[in-house]
Amino acid sequence: MQVLKPFLLLYRRHIWRLSIGVVLAIITLLASIGLLTLSGWFLAGASLAGLAGLMTFNYMLPAAGVRGAAILRTAGRYAERLVSHDATFRVLQHLRVFTFSRTLPLSPGGLARFRQADLLNRLVADVDTLDHLYLRVISPLVSALVVILVVTYGLSWLDSSLALTLGSIMLLLLALLPPVFYRAGKPIGTHLTLLRSRYRTQLTTWLQGQAELTLFGAQTACRHQLADTEQAWLTQQQRQARLSGLSQALMLLCTGFTVTAILWLAAAGIGGDTQPGALIALFVFAALAAFEALGPVAGAFQHMGQVIASATRVDQILRQQPAVVFTTVTPSSAVTPTATLSLQQVSFTYPGQPLPVLQDITLNIAPGEHIALLGRTGCGKSTLLQLLTRAWDSDAGGITLNGLPLTQWSEPALRGMMSVVPQRIHIFSATLRDNLLLAAPQASDAQLSQQLEQVGLGNLLDTPEGLNAWIGEGGRQLSGGEQRRLGLARALLHPAPLVLLDEPTEGLDADTEQKILHLLREHTHGKTVIIITHRLHDLASLDRICVLDNGRLVEQGRHVDLLAARGRYWQFHQHATRQA
């Protein structure tokens, strides 16, 4: 139960709406009890009065009471649903924003241990499950307790012993049934939550890997695995349904027993009157109606296992500590139109890995200098780029930008100083315009169109929709090369003095590659540029080439000087020449 405490504290933000919802639920229950109680007494009293009491029995006042209770119950139920669900949706909105705001700083290090589908399931399905906490647990429990006390007090004016008997039985059930069904439903709820997550994770993996599964004929085996998980999930749902049926049956049994007991006790007399007449019906129907308040309580607590399991899964994310923490203020003197980078003896090892990825990297980059980081796959080039963008912090050494350590830069200031083209370009399911405006929100349509023309994507504008063309999820309508050029267009639109490019021409043909490299030289004049690559095309035009091997900076210099030194770069060049 302790895991629910942080989420219960979030409810304080909407305490008034939630409280009004509980009050309306209590009013609705009391109106329903009053309607059935008054109707039972009225019918019994009218039948006893018969035709002889036509002139003496007050038919009008009870009839008005019945109609008033019916109207109050209908209006109260509508208002209670309206307020309770509005409050619950507001709590869920707050909870989603709170969870996402705590999750965002964890990327990428703190989220590495979670699979994408599992993470999505925690942020969506598990958060949604937490709405049971108010709608199915807190509100019914508080409402039932208040209704029992009010009904007991009201009936005590007629007969205190009968009222206390009814109130005691209901309070005993309210105390016993929730823990019993909580314990019975907890393992089922835990299994349901885990199986739901496993099924959705497997389904997402199956859909994403559909091409490979088809090519290698593994669809059947994967489908059987998915079917086994689905069957286990259905089995747990059946167990929960049986438990729900058992709780309803037990509640009906308790209701029948209590009504019979009240009828037997009331027959002996009510309030000292040995011939109570229609008051017997009043007590019997009051007992019958009062159990409506207990109906949701037993069934609600069998879902608590599911709520706690979901809360635990969400809490596992919230308890993660960010690998990188940004400051809030950056000295204005560091934010300049130029960028100077300095890396001094930088080393880095990924958490849980035995070997370092980078070792003792020392590199100084002057403003406006264009350099290439060259090396085999896995030598640490992309990791160095992640250190420069503060996706991670180095284990040893330090990195400064314009003389200020990266750890002293605020995130907005640091992002404003950098334009980045990552190795994998993410295309959002939005329009072409929206995907470009990420880099330059104030850019005009003319600027966006011009940039697309420059990177060779003018054909995307040759449609009736133009910039309004819908790209689709993951940019499925675009080829790999087109996606990379769209990423380059974003980087060139972003007015930053430092440009970081990770394999910018990967997936492009030779002619397009030359055009893109020429475009980069033209539009990054005066900017500091770092190109991470394993290709040797057009490196002679760069100011410096830095060669990485096994996480170390083994040599650096201009193209002609490195060839003359006949070192590692010369070996790469010779190998590329033979392949060509």
Q: What is the DSSP string of 369-432?
A: -EEEEE--TTSSHHHHHHHHTTSS--SEEEEEETTEEGGGSBHHHHHHHEEEE-SS----SSBH
Choice among 1-10, 68-77, 91-100, 440-449 with the minimum mean pLDDT: 1-10
Phi-psi region of 539 (alpha: psi -120 to 50; beta: other; left: phi over 0): alpha
- Position 56 scores a pLDDT of 63
Decide if pLDDT at 171 tops 90.
yes
- In angstroms, rounded to a whole number, what is the distance separating the alpha carbons of residues 46 and 55? 11
Whole-number pLDDT of residue 492: 85
Give the separation between CA 411 and CA 326, rounded to whole angstroms.
6
What's the pLDDT tens digit per position in 530-539?
988 877 777 8
Report the chain's terminal Cα–Cα distance, integer Å.
66
Task: Specify the pTM.
Answer: 0.73
Polymer length in residues for the chain: 580
Neighbours of 441 (CB within 10 A): 8
pLDDT of amino acid 33: 92
Q: Which of the two residues, 108 and 359, has the higher pLDDT score?
A: 359
Residue 170 has pLDDT above 90, yes or no: yes
Question: Given the structure tokens 């420069």, which residue do they identify?
Answer: 388
Q: Say yes or no to pLDDT of 580 above 60.
A: no
Instruction: Give pLDDT tens digits for 115-165.
Output: 777 888 888 888 888 877 777 788 888 999 999 999 999 999 988 999 999
| Measured distance CA(225)–CA(231) in Å, rounded | 10
What pLDDT score was predicted for residue 239? 92
pLDDT exceeds cutoff 80 at 5: no
Q: Which two tokens stand for residue 377?
A: 């796959």
- The mean pLDDT value for 296-305 works out to 79
Residues 6+ apart with CB under 8 A from 344: 362, 397, 398, 399, 400
Given a cut of 90, whether residue 206 has pLDDT beyond it is: no
For residue 1, name the pLDDT band (cuts at 50, 70, 90): low
Beta strand 418-421 pairing with 498-502: parallel
CB atoms within 10 A of CB 521: 14
pLDDT of residue 568: 84
How many angstroms separate the CA atoms of 413 and 552, rounded? 30
Joined together, the tokens standing for residue 527 give: 């900017």
Q: What pLDDT does residue 498 have?
A: 92
Residue 579 pLDDT exceeds 70: no
Contact assessment for residue 500 and residue 385, using Cβ atoms and an 8 Å cutoff: yes
Q: Which residue has better confidence, 278 or 78?
A: 78
% of the chain exceeding 70 in pLDDT: 96
Neighbours of 408 (CB within 10 A): 16
With a cut of 60, say whether residue 367 has pLDDT above it.
Answer: yes
pLDDT at 474: 66
Please give the domain boundaries of the chain with CATH numbers for all domains: 2-318 (1.20.1560.10), 339-424+492-579 (3.40.50.300)
pLDDT in tens, 279-289: 888 889 999 99
Q: Tell how many helices (H) and how many strands (E) occur in the chain.
A: 21, 10
Least confident of 39-53, 243-257, 377-391, 537-551: 39-53
Helix (H) or strand (E) holding 362: strand 358-365
* Mean local confidence (pLDDT), 19-33: 92
Judge whether 317 and 292 are in contact, CB under 8 Å: no
Region 532-551: what's the mean pLDDT?
Answer: 83
Encoding tokens for residue 222? Answer: 């994967």
- Is there a contact between 327 and 390 (Cβ–Cβ < 8 Å)? no
DSSP helix, strand, coil percent of the chain (3-state; round to 5): 65, 10, 25
Predicted pLDDT of residue 52: 58
Q: What is the structure's pLDDT at 186?
A: 87
- Which are the contacts of 366, defined by CB distance < 8 A and separation ≥ 6? 340, 528
Given this model, what pLDDT does residue 47 score? 78
Least confident of 117-126, 190-199, 293-302, 509-518: 509-518
* Per-residue pLDDT tens over the stretch 422-480: 878 888 888 888 888 888 888 888 888 888 888 888 888 888 888 888 887 766 677 77
**Residue range 103-125: mean pLDDT, rounded:** 77
The reported pLDDT for the residue numbered 28 is 93
Summarize the confidence of residues 366-377 as an average pLDDT. 88
Q: What is the pLDDT of residue 55?
A: 63
Q: What is the pLDDT of residue 148?
A: 93
Q: How far apart are CA 423 and CA 506, in angstroms?
A: 8
Average pLDDT for residues 525-548, to the nearest whole number? 84
The mean predicted confidence, pLDDT, of the chain is 85
Cα 264 → chain centroid: 55
Residue carrying structure tokens 């709405």: 131
Q: Cα separations (Å) of 202 from 23, 195, 197, 310?
A: 44, 10, 9, 19
Query: Residue 331, preceding bond cis, omega within 30 degrees?
Result: no
